[in-house]
Structure 1
Amino acid sequence: MPEFTLERVIRAAPAEVFAASIDPALHVESMARYGETMVDGPEGGVFTEGSTVTWRARHFGITFRLTSMVFSIDPPYRFSDRQIRGPFGAFHHDHVFLEHPDGTLMRDTITFHSPFGPLGALVDRLFMREYLRRLIEERNRVMAVSVEGRRA
């Protein structure tokens, strides 16, 4: 399965970065460019162990729904989410938050594959991996600006 890892240093404590990363409202804000909305969110508006959320967004001119589950929550160090229904054959996202001299090193590891066997594998190689990488980078940029702005 295709996989990539992104790292970004955010000038804030791991607990602040963790809290921002697990905030559904900030996720929606970070994906505004794609018209992403939360169709069905976690109870209480906060992700907890086993929470599910359904997102609706427009990518490649097509509206998609993706339902994911949050698990392995270990504040403020890590959590994971994975698709349980949606457009991917599989989608798994590990979020890790490590202390860093300048704040927090946030590490995202994405493992995924598109459906449709060899055709999906070709799509992944040709453009899906890079598309997802840019999407997660954008999400992380918005989150960093938000978290660092709270500290100003």
Structure 2
Amino acid sequence: MINYLHREQILPAPIEKVWAYFCDPKNLNEITPPDMKFEIVSGGDVKMYEGQVVEYRVEFVRGLRSLWLTEIAHVRENEYFVDEQRVGPYRFWYHEHSFESVPAGVKMTDHVTYAAPFGLIGDVVNAVWIRQRLNGIFDFRYQKIVELFGSVK
């Protein structure tokens, strides 16, 4: 089953500053919950570009580290980028990050399309755990981004 996660956030900052932060893979660690023990293994030492492959290790389940290999499939500077899973914990992962100048700053949108592994069993696990875990990760990210860029009052 295909699943979706959609988040929007307004950042009171110029689009160039927001873009510069999000196109640096090293900043992913700062906006990822510490309990995930997120680590970039390779490919994250340069500014994001189309075709870039980044290898991570991440702990979705306590004590179980997982390889996650993503490719930056599409980039349009100051507008959007897309990361796609090549190897990792999901059967399918497609994450669109878009940035739009608005009067209050930048409207940042995350739209994730994903499918859990293991067919019907994965769908059940998604319903009882994966969906909540992803929401928690993006809740953490939202708060960290507020700390970094502020929030619109």
- TM-score w.r.t. the length of structure 1 is 0.89
Alignment of 1:88-127 (within 5 A): 88-127=90-129
Structure 2: distance between partners of 1:45 and 1:32 = 22
Structure 1 ranges of 4+ moved more than 6 A: none
2:33–2:137 contact (8 Å) kept in structure 1: no
Question: In the TM superposition, what is the alpha-carbon distance from 1:52 to its structure 2 partner?
Answer: 0.5
Instruction: Could you tell me which runs of 5 or more consecutive residues in structure 1 were left unpaired when the two chains were aligned.
Output: none
Report if the CA contact (8 A) 1:79-1:95 is conserved: yes
Give 1:32 deviation, angstroms: 5.3
Aligned counterparts of 1:25 and 1:140: Cα–Cα separation in 2: 17
Deviation at 1:25, TM superposition (A): 1.6
Partner of 1:134: 136
Unaligned runs of 5+ in 2: none
Letter aligned with residue 40 of structure 1: S
Count matched residues: 147
Q: Alignment partner of 2:13: what SS?
A: coil
Alignment of 1:29-48 (within 5 A): 29-31=30-32, 33=34, 34-42=36-44, 44-48=45-49
* 1:66 paired residue number: 68
How far the C-alpha of 1:124 sits from its partner, in A, is 1.3
1:15 aligns with 2:16: yes
Aligned-partner residue type, residue 106 of structure 1? M
User: What SS does structure 2 have at the residue aligned with 1:142?
Assistant: helix
**C-alpha RMSD of matched pairs (Å):** 1.5
* Contact 1:83/1:92, CA 8 A, preserved across alignment: yes
Amino acid at match of 1:137: D
Task: Find the aligned partners of 1:19 and 1:140 in 2 and give their Cα distance.
Answer: 17
Query: Quick one: distance in 1 between partners of 2:73 and 2:123?
Result: 27
1:53 paired to 2:80: no
Residue 35 of structure 1: how far off its partner (Å):
1.3
**Is the CA contact (8 Å cut-off) linking 2:43 and 2:55 kept in structure 1?**
yes
Instruction: Kindly state the Cα deviation for residue 127 of structure 1 after the two structures are TM-superposed.
Output: 2.0
Match of 1:81 in 2: 83
| Aligned-residue identity in percent | 23
Does the 8 A contact of 2:33 with 2:140 survive in 1? Answer: no
Q: Which has the higher helix share?
A: 1
